Chain A
Amino acid sequence: MGTPTTDELEKLEKQTLVDAPHEDFERSAETFVPGPYYAAAEEVMAELEAGVPTHVAGAKANPKGLDFSVDRRDFMRLFTVATAASAAACIRRPVEKAVPYVNQPIDQVPGVPTFYSSTCGSCAAGCGILVKTKEGRPVKIEGNPEHPVNQGALCGLGQAEIQGLYHPERLKTPMQRHGRRLDPVQWEDVYSILGEAVKKTSKIGIFTGGSTGHRHEFFLEVLEKVGAPKTALYTWEANSIWSDIAQAHEIAFGKAVIPRMEIKHADLLVGIGTDFLEIGVSPVAAAKSLSAFRTHHNGKTGRFVQFETNLSMTGANADKRHVIAPGSELQVALLLVRSLYEHPKVKVSGIAHTMAQSLLRTHQSELDRAYATLQIPKTEFDALATEMIQSESLMLVGGSSMFSEEATKLQLVGILGNLLLGAYEKFLFIDRGWMKSPVVPGDLERFVAEAPQLDILFVIDSDPAFTTPASWGVTGILEKIPTVVSIQSFPNDVDLVSKFALPGHHTLESWGDEEPVEGFWSMRQPVIRPTTDSRQAEDILLWILATSEKNLPYADYHAFLYKKWEAVQQFSGNLTVVYDMFFKAVLRRGFIGKLTVQTLFAQLKDFSTHLKTLRPLSTGLQLIAPLDHRFHDGRGAHLPVLQETGDAITTVTWDTWAAINPNTMTKMGLKRNQVVELSTAAGKLKVPVYPLPGLHPDVIVCPRGNGHTDARSTISNNAGLNPLGLFAKAQDPLSKEPVTALVPVKVAATTEWFRLAALQKHHDIANRKDIIKKVDLPSLKVAKKKNLDHVPDMFPKLEEGEYRWGMAIDLDKCTGCGACVAACSIENNVPQVGRDQVILGREMTWIRIDRYFYGDVNAPEVSFQPVNCQHCHHAPCEAVCPVFATTHDPEGLNAMTYNRCIGTRYCANACPYKVRRFNWWTHKWGEMGKRAQDRNPRAMNPDVTVRTRGVMEKCSLCVGRLRDAKHEAKETGRKVPDGAVQTACQQTCPSNAIVFGDLHDAQSRVSRARQDPRAYLLLGGDPENGHYGLKTLPGVSYLSEILRYGLHQPEHEQPHKE
């Protein structure tokens, strides 16, 4: 668009942003934006809340937190102990032991943490991690700053994986099934039984999850050794975006590759049904790239336009969002390709040209009709096409809300679109450093066909029983196979039907490697001796082969890797050094890479034959079951910190909901939290309703991931529901992936209520102006630097220390993913309290993400705002504490002294931001107690004090890390450099939205962010016009969102012109 000329600026300022009937914006939002039934989110939310019996909602919903199961014995025991203790006047000091090492390892200094680099195993993206261990015990997983895939960040699932290591419900010993019961058995017996079985037959198969490292190569060698065909290895991931893209590129270019996308170089990103931020190919890499793409400096910033039917987290972060009919993504892509193709300045030639021409001619009539059904005029497509041609742009298509029969077709049209835009080798790289596909497309269908003939099946680190729709009958097939051996790091549904359930190593206990990008290898090494009696999955196979006298020439999987990595040394060209030294260097750094080059782009083939037929747009209600961005396909459901982080859009924790457009809900006469019965051809499901603005009226969204009823973990056991039962057996003809979206559904209201455990009970901004601030591009150009600390104050200037710690959160970059909430809870030993306590409003997370809907119900603007303790200079909470439990540190921190707090809770009432959390209960760690509050794995950080009940706690800006950094600085005699200390949330934020540093140092990033024209203080009024709000002078400042399309910003929000 280039720099706007002055008349463009004036035109923009005069043009009323919204065709409002009259100028009076003062009144609440619903009056000035016309809508069919409900204009604004505030009105519809209040409407749907009215009449909902808040306390009676749902039999299950009554918060059981109140029946703290007072059993007489328990109460009397505790009470007598308390009286006896107080009676014993002077208690002799208990004698404690100090037990040193026998041979102290040289690099281990008790009290000083050691870091190991490894690779995260939670999903197939292969992010590099640094594991902080203290006294040989992993304490925290953090992204490896040098690792190119995730550049130091980590998603919520990666952070929460440490809870999986210490999870008390991991299998303690190998189990063998006798009838309905699993009984413990010795490892030797397992090896001998399975050894005999392997000796007798060669019909053996291995079903495993996605992995890009040498793991699959090892399995192939094992199969070959036992005489099984190469096709007996079935690799499958529930996130079928991998296989869709790989299959599409196989059809288009002849090789199943996944393009590595670099959005940050582009200017315009157009997404059609894409959810790359939540679950796509590599969510953390995508978030880092998107964050760089949207950074605003000297007037230039990237724009993101999204066409989608469901309100996904990615769509919520789009600058302009079009709501399209469910299943119409393919039509929209073709319409966009048509506008691009017909655009005069398009540069396209060869096969792409002929393909586009033939495609558009065959679907001429359907596309003409599509404009009307989509209610998006052709001019809109043409304007977008011109914008895409003029600026550097690319298209991203497909996502977990579009895993239907046409998923791979949509990818093919996406490839065509990007060819027209010339995005390949500029933003989508397939010739140099493309991403390997962790799975072979179509393996599930092959497994369902071939599995019944198998005698032995090894299911390793995968849970097809839960993640595939029931109609595919995977559980039935597993039951029919004589011996199924399930080797998982955490028990799952396969253990219910398998003959053997063997405890596999957790990612932090196992060897391995990943090759996320071709030529780039990332190593995984164990950081702790196995905590339970588990074995490396590959070692189990080796032992079985050994006992069946068909052993492989490797002592264990480490030896196998050691041998395979010799090829990696040759390939990466570091030949000067001895191999063992090279291996140790890679172990220390974590990765090694030399991107390979291929000429795939040139071998483009004509794939228009696959796009001959288009599925007609079916009207009526359709159900989609997207993947949950917290527990992926259900693999994270046993981690309490993920269950309690709350979904990005609906903030619902622990439960599954059916999101429906509020207008459709009113038409059906439903109310929030009312239970409806969804019935499709395949089955029925009773699920509570959640009114979600921004959905298309004809779509019902019911996320997957929760609903484990296998009673393997009390955490995930009947938390939420599994919607996969509603999908009949259908598959994408090209990639053979199961269909989990766009199935016609009927909704029947029931009289039951089920109260969803939502963290946030009110969803709009209630007409308040100094919470979420937005600024559009023209006014940003003229905006000046801010001085937020210039607030009139009656008291003399506070005597300040050497530093003044402050934080800046950029709301334009925050995508609301919740990784910071998971990281903060792990770092600071924050307990999880369970569903009923969340309903009561007693969640304990120190940072919460507020999500506000704003504007029209059908296309709302969604704003995310992470709120932690603001560390105010004039803190209302400090003045009211009677015992000095919370005082102000001269370095700008609000210090919370847990042992001094007596629990009057006045500070929490006085805090205008409500960021303080109270310990209502004492939580038992490391066991699965009767009460929901006592179910916390013992993944605790020894550097942070654990709080007992009756004590207030809040974000301390990671004061432990600050203290260590200052000791370091004092030792070396210099000040703490900017960026040397990172808070846990800043460290893991995938989109660099949080900045922490010393506000006294004018050059530090946080000082610059605090003076940024977009900077403002939460509840800080409107300083330019002399209103200073609450004058609490917070240490945390926010950077307002940028409205790149000047969309829908009422008058009172716009910065004043005079």
Chain B
Amino acid sequence: MSDLVAWDKTISDVNEGILVGLKKPHPSFYVALSISVLCLIIGAICWAIEITYGMGTTGLNNPVYWGVLITDFVFWVGIGHAGTLISAILFLFRAKWRNSINRSAEAMTVFAVITAGLFPLIHVGRVWVAAYWMLPLPNTNNVWVNFRSPLMWDVFAISTYLTVSLLFWYMGLVPDLASMRDRVTGYKRIVFNFMSFGWTGSLRQWHHYEAGYGFLAALATPLVLSVHSIVSWDFAMSMQPGWHTTIFPPYFVAGAILSGCAMVYTLVLPLRWMFRLEGFIRKEHLDCLLKLTLLTSTIVAYAYGIEFFVAWYSGNEYEWAIFQKRAVGPYAFYFWVMVACNCIFPMAFWSRRLRANTAVCFIVCLLVNVGMWFERYNIIVSSLVEDFLPSAWGHYEPTWIEMGITLGSFGWFFTWLLIFCRFFPLVSMSELKLIMPKPLRKKSEGH
């Protein structure tokens, strides 16, 4: 892999190149940070209004009890999965190109899961009791939680996923913190030394570090697949036509990885420019990422097709009515935006020339994210609106409170991400050195 990449830097300039970016960040960093903090405040106000006045302020009604807030929840959990995919699964596959973007992907995972973790609290009717009743704590009522409910699985799955990706991300950060410690003095040195557990880089530590990192990756891989399956069971466990299908777990996992990769690309591109990391995150790495996005896009396209076929083939008139209405009914706009963004635009990545053109790729990846948001919205709303009894059919429109909270969630995510990029290296220095040309005296020997 390293010979394919045209490296113009050696491992010596890695530490220097990355850490200098942190000293004085590009002015656009402050613009981005202020915008995201503003969005965060808007979202916070909308949530405060919703808590004060009740769920009536949202556009939800009977029969559409879930809407934009749950779409955001699944969207953010979905984005989180690409981070673990890149850092864990590709680590097991020994894919070299992951080393340059795995730190930013893991950061995106952690912050996306934190954002997703907020939404169960936002969309719930009584958040002041929901917070502690969802946990199996011994209580004076002697009543426990219902372990057979998919929402209970959600609580455990997402908290485990947050913990594991947090640990995974922090352990990856330890060697880099040590290298930062060696470059600063004063109180910063003490802080970094404490944060890096006093890492000295001795072979003993590297030996156990690599072993542990391997096991963490091994544990995180099934976790990725299980968490989004559990999120898909939130829908598949009910009898709703359009939800009650067994294809949901793989369909959601593929969708998650697609939206994750697209989000990684949309994040890494501007951050790379903002922190001047072009030397380290090479075009070839991003190229592999786009190829992965293309792959998952085809899987998702297959999933859409097979879902329609199964609905028609099952002969169940409720299922088939729902899918017909998705394509031609009042919510067809969301459906066709979804299909266009997720299946048709990414096909542009087949041509190498288009993949090289960063402007096109950036737009396509942005559209993929839009498409994925619409996919969740389409799944949730279009099958809730019209289900079994024709008399209970309804109509749903989000209100500005729900849109405000969605904007707030993007604000919350980017605020955390930008603060992280400001204080910690965006690229994992120790792993980057692995894929750069080795410092050998005799050039010929290296492969």
Contacts and interface: CB of A to CB of B under 8 A. Distances in A.
Q: Do chains A and B touch in the complex (CB under 8 A)?
A: yes
A79 interface: yes
Nearest to A912: B388
Interface string A934-977: 00000000000000111110000000000000000000000000
A920 interface: yes
Interface in A735-794: 760-768, 771
A168 interface: no
Contact of B394 (A68, A86, A841, A852): A841
Given A762-B390, A852-B390, A900-B143, A68 B56 contact: yes
Given A66-B57, A852-B391, A882-B151, A768 B318 contact: yes
Contacts of B392: 850, 913-914
Given A912-B240, A920-B60, 11 more contacts: A75-B48, A768-B318, A840-B59, A879-B148, A884-B146, A901-B125, A902-B125, A902-B129, A914-B62, A920-B55, A1018-B389
A882 B123 CA distance: 14
B57 to A, nearest CB: 6
19 contacts: A65-B56, A66-B400, A79-B48, A763-B390, A766-B321, A767-B317, A850-B389, A882-B149, A902-B126, A904-B125, A905-B60, A906-B234, A909-B384, A918-B65, A920-B54, A920-B60, A949-B54, A949-B56, A950-B126
Interface in B122-164: 123-130, 133-134, 143-146, 148-152, 155
Interface residues of A, number: 69
B143 to A, nearest CB: 6
Interface string B389-413: 1111111010110000000000000
Chain A's interface: helix, strand, loop or mixed, by majority? loop
Nearest to B56: A920
Contacts of B125: 901-905, 918-919, 949-952
A880 interface: yes
A883 B49 contact: no
Contacts of A760: 391
Interface of A: 54-55, 65-66, 68, 70, 75, 78-79, 82, 86, 760-768, 771, 837, 840-843, 848, 850-852, 865, 867, 876, 879-884, 900-906, 908-910, 912-914, 916-922, 933, 948-952, 1018-1019, 1030, 1032
A881 B146 contact: yes
Contact of B149 (A66, A879, A900, A919): A879
Nearest to B396: A841
Interface string B232-248: 00100111100000000
Contacts of A54: 330, 395
B59 A78 contact: no
A900 B124 CA distance: 13
Contact of A75 (B49, B126, B384): B49
Which of A760, A882, A913 lies at the interface centre, i.e. has the most chain B CB atoms within 10 A of its CB?
A882
B151 A904 contact: yes
Contacts of A1019: 388-389
Contacts of A865: 391
Contacts of A913: 388-389, 392
B53 interface: yes
B312 interface: no
Interface of B: 48-49, 51-57, 59-66, 120, 123-130, 133-134, 143-146, 148-152, 155, 234, 237-240, 317-318, 321, 330, 384, 386-395, 397, 399-400
A227 B49 CA distance: 67
Given A70-B53, A906-B234, A880 B150 contact: yes
A738 B130 CA distance: 61
A882 B66 contact: no
Contacts of B48: 75, 79
A876 B62 CA distance: 17
B155 A882 contact: yes
Nearest to B155: A882
Contacts of B317: 767-768
Contact of B151 (A86, A906, A951): A906
B137 to A, nearest CB: 12
A139 to B, nearest CB: 27
A880 B238 contact: yes
A465 to B, nearest CB: 37
B52 A78 contact: yes
Chain B's interface: helix, strand, loop or mixed, by majority? loop
A775 to B, nearest CB: 20
Contact of A768 (B123, B129, B330, B390): B390
A950 B55 contact: yes
Given A762-B393, A766-B321, A882 B146 contact: yes
B234 A82 contact: no
Which of B56, B61, B146, B394 lies at the interface centre, i.e. has the most chain A CB atoms within 10 A of its CB?
B56
A70 B387 contact: no
Contacts of A843: 62
Given A65-B56, A882-B134, A771 B389 contact: yes
A867 B391 contact: yes
Contacts of B386: 762
Contacts of A68: 53, 56-57
Nearest to B388: A912
A841 B52 contact: no
A901 B134 CA distance: 11
Contacts of B390: 762-766, 768, 771, 852
A818 to B, nearest CB: 14
Contacts of A910: 237-240
Contacts of B234: 906
A79 B64 CA distance: 28
Contacts of A950: 54-55, 124-126
B61 A842 contact: yes
Contact of B130 (A764, A902, A918): A902
Contacts of B126: 901-903, 948-951
B237 A879 contact: yes
Contact of A921 (B49, B56, B62): B56
Nearest to A905: B65
A903 B50 CA distance: 14
A841 B384 contact: no
A908 B125 CA distance: 13
A819 to B, nearest CB: 19
Contacts of A901: 125-126
The 10 A-B pairs of least Cβ separation, nearest first, read A903-B125, A950-B125, A850-B391, A920-B56, A910-B238, A841-B61, A950-B126, A914-B392, A902-B130, A882-B151
Given A78-B52, A909-B238, A950-B54, A867 B389 contact: yes
Contacts of B318: 768
Nearest to B130: A902
Contacts of A79: 48, 52
Contacts of B128: 86
A55 B331 CA distance: 13
Which of A79, A761, A909, A914 lies at the interface centre, i.e. has the most chain B CB atoms within 10 A of its CB?
A909
Nearest to B233: A880
Contacts of A767: 317
A848 B391 contact: yes
B62 A917 contact: yes
A82 B399 contact: no
Which of A879, A916, A948 lies at the interface centre, i.e. has the most chain B CB atoms within 10 A of its CB?
A879
Given A68-B57, A841-B62, A879-B148, A761 B393 contact: yes
Contacts of B391: 760, 762, 848, 850-852, 865, 867
Which of B125, B133, B386 lies at the interface centre, i.e. has the most chain A CB atoms within 10 A of its CB?
B125
A764 B61 CA distance: 22
Contact of B59 (A66, A771, A882): A66
B54 A914 contact: no
B134 A902 contact: yes
A446 to B, nearest CB: 48
A55 B397 contact: yes
B180 to A, nearest CB: 39
Contacts of B400: 66
Nearest to A949: B54
